[in-house]
């Protein structure tokens, strides 16, 4: 076990005695066994560039630092950020950004050509928009290990036709290989949330299947389809694509959008002029 890493089954001592703030959606991870499994899944190495979103009291932060990585933490809570900043003299590989992760310029953290590994226990109240922001920054990212509400991870990994399959499933799976790696009960956090959590691994696909124009069309098609998911494809795309586009994509206009695969949505984008 690495020096400073938590032992299994023990709680992580907090970086400071702090009350969680509801407006930030704070639930602090404290279960050492869960922390160890997360660190093992990330497998950080010396010199790697890692960004942790929402470090909180540092339960994951300090085990990651023990690997010798260069760790940038993004914390919106000024008190938590200040407590972590006080530890930097003892951890020269720790860089603290007191910022909103939804607004942080990743070029500050990972200037080209460096690639960034991203992890964190994402606040539930901003998890979906934050995932979409990270997807938009994929050229700068090597991989992501994110703790999210289990329902969100269910949507990310869902196959076509399943109840959880939707816009998030399609957009994430278009860009990334997606793998659920760990389920986490509410008791691993303080305060305990009312929902279960899960850790997901996202690895960017090596090649884009759509150019920028095609991607814009793809996003519009997916958004339209899942805002009208119970309608037929013909009706879900009304006003956006006519039936000739659906025919050109070799699809049945009478099916529901929720059964289409990623490749079939890509075919629609190509057929609609998004090449």
- pLDDT per residue rounded down to tens, the chain (275 residues): 233 334 444 444 444 445 544 444 567 899 999 999 999 999 999 999 999 999 999 999 999 999 999 999 999 999 999 999 999 999 999 999 999 999 998 888 988 889 999 999 988 888 999 999 999 999 999 999 999 999 999 999 999 999 999 999 999 999 999 999 999 999 999 888 889 999 999 999 988 789 989 999 999 999 999 999 889 999 999 999 989 999 999 999 999 999 999 999 999 999 998 44
Q: Are domains 22-204 and 212-274 of this chain identical in fold?
A: no
In this predicted model, what pLDDT tens digit does every residue of 101-145 receive, in sequence order?
A: 999 988 889 888 899 999 999 888 889 999 999 999 999 999 999
Q: Which helix (H) or strand (E) holds 49?
A: strand 49-53
Distance CA 4, CA 13 (A): 12
CA distance 196 to 198: 7
First to last CA, the chain: 51
Bridge partners (DSSP) listed for residue 52: 73, 119
pLDDT score recorded for residue 9: 42
DSSP string, 18-30: ----GGGT--EE-
CA distance linking residue 119 with residue 213, whole number of Å: 30
Q: How far apart are CA 17 and CA 80, in angstroms?
A: 10
What is the residue extent of each domain of the chain?
22-204, 212-274
Architecture per CATH, domain 212-274, reads as Orthogonal Bundle (1.10)
What distance in Å separates the CA atoms of residue 26 and residue 146, rounded to the nearest whole number? Answer: 15
pLDDT value for 26:
63
What are the pLDDT digits (tens) for 10-27? Answer: 444 444 445 544 444 567
- Residues 203 and 46 sit within 8 Å (Cβ to Cβ): no
| Contact partners, residue 23, CB within 8 Å, separation at least 6 | none
Q: What is the pTM of this model?
A: 0.87
What does CATH list as the number for 22-204? 3.40.50.150
């Amino acid at each position: 076990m690495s020096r400073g890493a938590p032992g299994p089954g023990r709680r992580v001592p907090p970086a400071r005695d702090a009350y969680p703030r509801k407006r930030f959606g704070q639930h602090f991870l404290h279960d050492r066994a869960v922390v160890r499994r997360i660190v093992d899944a990330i497998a950080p190495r010396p010199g790697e560039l890692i960004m942790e979103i929402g470090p909180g009291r540092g339960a994951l932060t300090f085990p990651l630092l023990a690997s010798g990585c260069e760790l940038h933490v993004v914390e919106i809570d000024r008190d938590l950020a200040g407590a972590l900043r006080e530890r930097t003299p003892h951890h020269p590989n720790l860089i603290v950004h007191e910022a909103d992760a939804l607004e942080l310029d990743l070029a500050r953290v990972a200037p080209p050509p460096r690639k960034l590994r991203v992890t964190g226990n994402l606040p539930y109240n901003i998890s979906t928009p934050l995932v979409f922001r990270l997807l938009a920054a994929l050229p700068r990212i090597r991989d992501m290990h994110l703790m999210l509400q289990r329902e969100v991870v269910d949507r990310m990994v869902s196959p076509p036709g399943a109840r959880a399959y939707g816009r998030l499933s399609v957009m994430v799976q278009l860009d990334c290989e997606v793998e659920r790696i760990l389920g986490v009960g509410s008791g691993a956090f303080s305060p305990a949330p009312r929902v279960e959590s899960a850790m997901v691994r996202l690895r960017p696909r090596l090649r884009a299947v759509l150019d920028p124009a095609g991607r814009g069309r793809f996003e519009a098609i997916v958004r339209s389809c899942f805002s009208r998911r119970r309608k037929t494809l013909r009706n879900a795309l009304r006003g956006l694509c006519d039936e000739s586009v659906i025919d050109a994509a070799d699809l049945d206009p009478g099916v529901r959008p929720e059964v289409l695969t990623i490749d079939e949505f890509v075919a629609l984008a190509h057929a609609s002029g998004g090449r």
